[in-house]
Amino acid sequence: MSKTAAWPVAPPKDERSVRRIAFSQTLSRWDVKISPYLYISPFFILFAITGMFPLAYTAWVSVHEWNLIGGQGDFVWFDNYAFVLSQPPFWIALRNTFSIFLISAVPQIAFALLIAAVLDRNLRAKTFWRMGVLLPYVVAPVAVTLIFSNMFGDQYGLINNLLGNLGIEPIGWHSDVLASHIAIATMVNFRWTGYTALILLAAMQAIPRDYYEASMIDGAGMVRQFFSITIPQLRPTLIFVIVTSTIGGLQIFDEPRLYDSVGQGGASSQWMTITIYLYNLGWGQLNFGRAAAVAWLLFLIIVLVGLINVAITRSIAKAS
């Protein structure tokens, strides 16, 4: 090799360090942009498997003749939906579902707000009282329903015995439509009011205490503080509670199913809900196509009612 041959010259140390820093900055930018999606991806993957796929498959079943023995039959378009909408039991079940939902959801949120406001005060043994309101939620729905169905018994129920001792005529808790709805709503409220109260309590404790101190200096009392500070600060949580209560209330099944020994929603469908009607179509008549149509109709109703709730809540928030 000649003496004049040029050897490869290594880049200066400062240039290599600049390249290394630039590459690490690029990785850092990728980490900031991509890592949040990686962290939340397990939820969406599981939701797609356990939520979206069953929903789409139910839509596929709802447009076919489908029974337990024969499986998938002919493609019938929207005949299953037309059949369900033409049946009077569907509209009776829809009426019962909305009635039980309104009787249970409105008092539940109101009492939960009151309980949360009391627990937010400086009470002795606060942990004991907060755990106490959650105990009904821990009890199994079957046990709650069996106990309350005996309490609301027509002949030997505890409530009717007390009314008889007071000279009041007994109430047909299983024969009357409104009375049966009140009884079932009472079971729902007993189980879920404490759970809702703890959610609202967690949101109340996040409200800055400076607001209350300033209002006390201005002479505001507890009631004025509750409606002028607490309620406005709880709007996002109230929207969440209202939406979840709507979803759960319109899907109610355990309480009306176990309210009597037959589990068909009453002799005259006094408390038959949409989910019981769906169950009877699917496992009683073994017609999964019509049952899937009811499921999709219920899904659309829940979405519609949820959007209406969000719109009303936001309009009230803007107006206040």
Helix (H), strand (E) at residue 25: helix 13-47
β-strand pairing of 71-75 with 64-67: antiparallel
Question: pLDDT value at position 123?
Answer: 76
- CA proximity to 239, closest of 96, 109, 102: 109
- The average confidence (pLDDT) of the chain is 84
pLDDT value for 242: 87
Cα–Cα dist 216/211, whole Å: 9
pLDDT of residue 8 exceeding 70: no
pLDDT at 78 over 70: yes
Backbone angles phi, psi at 226, to 5 degrees: -65, -45
Question: What is the predicted pLDDT for the residue at 199?
Answer: 93
Query: Is the entire prediction scored with pTM above 0.85?
Result: no
What CA–CA distance (Å, rounded) separates 205 from 121?
Answer: 10
> How far apart (Å, rounded) are the C-alpha atoms in residues 24 and 46?
33
3-state helix, strand, coil split of the chain in percent (to 5) is 75, 5, 25
The rounded Cα 91 to chain-centroid distance in angstroms is 23
Window from 1-5, 202-206, 249-253 with minimum mean pLDDT:
1-5
Q: What is the pLDDT of residue 294?
A: 94
How far is 117 from 284, CA to CA, in rounded Å?
46
pLDDT in tens, 106-135: 999 999 999 999 988 877 878 888 888 888
Q: Would you tell me which CATH number, out of the four given (3.40.50.2300, 3.90.245.10, 1.10.3720.10, 3.40.50.300), belongs to the domain 87-319?
A: 1.10.3720.10
**Would you list the domain boundaries of the chain?**
87-319
Min mean pLDDT across 2-6, 112-116, 167-171, 208-212 is at 2-6
Q: For residue range 22-71, list pLDDT tens digits in order.
A: 656 666 677 677 878 888 888 889 988 988 898 899 999 999 888 777 77
- Per residue in 219-277, pLDDT (tens digit) is 888 888 888 888 888 888 888 898 888 888 899 998 899 888 888 888 888 999 999 99
Q: Could you give phi then psi for residue 39, rounded to 5 degrees?
A: -70, -35
Mean pLDDT of 153-160: 83
The C-alpha R_g of the chain, in whole angstroms, comes to: 29
Residue 152's SS3 state is coil
Residue 78 near residue 156, CB atoms below 8 Å: no
Are 267 and 55 a contacting pair, CB within 8 Å? Answer: no
| Residues 233, 230: Cα–Cα separation, whole Å | 5
Contacts of residue 32, Cβ cutoff 8 Å, sequence gap at least 6: none
Going by pLDDT thresholds of 50, 70 and 90, the confidence category of residue 180 is: very high
SS3 state at 167: coil
